[in-house]
Amino acid sequence: MDKITVILIIFIGLGSAAGVILTVKKLLNTEKNKNDIIDSQRNEISTLNNDLNLVNKELQLKQIELKAKSDSIENLTKDVLNFSKDIDFNTKTIEGLTNEISNITKSTNIVSGIIKNEQRQKGILKLKKSKFKKFEIVYGNNMFLEKSLTELEKGIELGDNMLKIKNFSKEFKFSVKFSGDDILISGILHEKNGTRVIELKDGEWALNKASVFSINYDDTAIEIIDNDGYVLLQIEVIKNKIYFKGIFYSNTMAVVFNDGIQSVSLDSEDFEQNLKSKVSTITRIFKHTGENYLGVRNPEVVRERKKRIEIINEELLQNYNELSNLILIDITSKFVNKYSLLFNNTRNEMINLIKQNNMSKADIVHEKMMTEYESSIRAEAIKLRNTLLKRIPEDRLKRIRDQNPMSMTLENYINPNGNPEIGGVIEDINIMLQLLKAE
């Protein structure tokens, strides 16, 4: 073989050997890579195992925690069951206590009823005294007895000061005494047959329930209602006035204190009718029905009084200050002439009716006169009084008042409630008219 061929063969042989070597090398590298991969996977598996162990440990801790909570819930459930049993027991206990309380309440209501009934038969009446130096005892609405604070602190017998009522004053067994801030009433009230209705001794009272329907009082008044619904006794303190109203018996007559003082002979044929016609006009100032009426005033009377006070207060501000004396004299003269005629006619009519023993008609005439006074006379009389008192010298007024302390007293104008006092109002205006004319 030539050299070229040999060289070619040698090159071919070398190339084959190199390929074999390269192939072997690749195989060796591949095996190494496999080992590296295996090692890497082993590392990952180890890491995963570690993570898995950690998770397992966490799961174990959670299981322990859940078990603890489960035990706690189980214990709580047991506690709830036990509590429910306690509630059932307590409920039964409460039911038992409720029944006991109900029984106690029934007993208490019975006792309360007994106490209330006792309160209606016995009690203490202490009327509150207002801060005045002089006071008036008012029989009905129109007979006044003025007393000083000193006299009332010693105590006064009212019967001794009622000489105007013959055959009655000695049998009017009531007295008034001041003690500190209290007004203490003493007295005995009888029925027609002499049965004692109530007895008061320095404010302490005892009532004969068989003779009356109801008693009610507060710290300014007391009121007793009979079984026919009429006011037997009513004593009320308003500012410096102590009012007595009701039916008061002597051996020969029944005397009614209300709108004036009226008497009815016990032996008169129509005694009951005449008496009821007079007593029925006494307005109740308290409630006497319901569960808790003790000390509760009659709301209608309260409203009526408030309304009346508002009207009177408005009237008290009126005057004729803008008029001259000549015009004022003319207006006053017309007032005196007009109402003197009305008063005299009414008085004469009532006298004739009383002589005829027609008391019911006399009462109607009296009521008509009182209505006329309320609606027309009073406001004009107060207006004239307010003006005339400012026009007449004080020394002349003093002389008149010294002769008659009740003269020109505002109370007579506001609340005369009787024909004699209406006549007194007209006479007052006439006296002031004459004094003004003399100026």
Give CA–CA dist 216/206, Å, rounded: 13
Highest mean pLDDT among 7-21, 300-314, 369-383: 369-383
In a domain, 302, yes or no: no
How large is the average pLDDT for residues 182-200?
89
In a domain, 303, yes or no: no
Q: Is the domain of 33 the same as that of 75?
A: yes
Q: Which residues contact 69 (CB under 8 A, 6 or more apart)?
A: none
Q: Is the domain of 205 the same as that of 344?
A: no
In a domain, 200, yes or no: yes
Give CA–CA dist 7/18, Å, rounded: 16
Give CA–CA dist 419/346, Å, rounded: 9
Number of domains in the chain: 3
Which has the higher per-residue pLDDT, 111 or 337? 337
In a domain, 412, yes or no: yes
Give CA–CA dist 275/360, Å, rounded: 10
Residue 333 has pLDDT above 90, yes or no: yes
Q: Is the domain of 290 the same as that of 204?
A: yes
Residue 111 has pLDDT above 80, yes or no: no
* Residue where a domain terminates, one of 92, 119, 146: 119
Of 213, 246, 186, 229, the closest CA to residue 121 belongs to: 213
Q: Is the domain of 12 the same as that of 81?
A: yes
* Residue where a domain terminates, one of 54, 88, 119: 119
pLDDT band for position 15 (cuts 50, 70, 90): low
Q: Is the domain of 364 the same as that of 250?
A: no
In a domain, 160, yes or no: yes
Q: What is the pLDDT of residue 51?
A: 72
Q: Is the domain of 175 the same as that of 280?
A: yes
Specify the pTM: 0.55
> Contact, 127 vs 183, CB < 8 A?
yes
High-pLDDT (> 90) share of the chain, %: 15
For residue range 25-38, list pLDDT tens digits in order: 665 566 666 666 67
In a domain, 320, yes or no: yes
Q: Which domain holds residue 394?
A: 308-437
Q: Is the domain of 222 the same as that of 110?
A: no
For residue range 233-285, list pLDDT tens digits in order: 999 998 888 889 999 888 888 888 887 678 888 888 888 888 888 888 888 99
* Residue where a domain terminates, one of 119, 151, 167: 119
Q: What is the pLDDT of residue 202?
A: 93
Q: Is the domain of 65 the same as that of 169?
A: no
In a domain, 149, yes or no: yes
Q: Is the domain of 77 the same as that of 163?
A: no
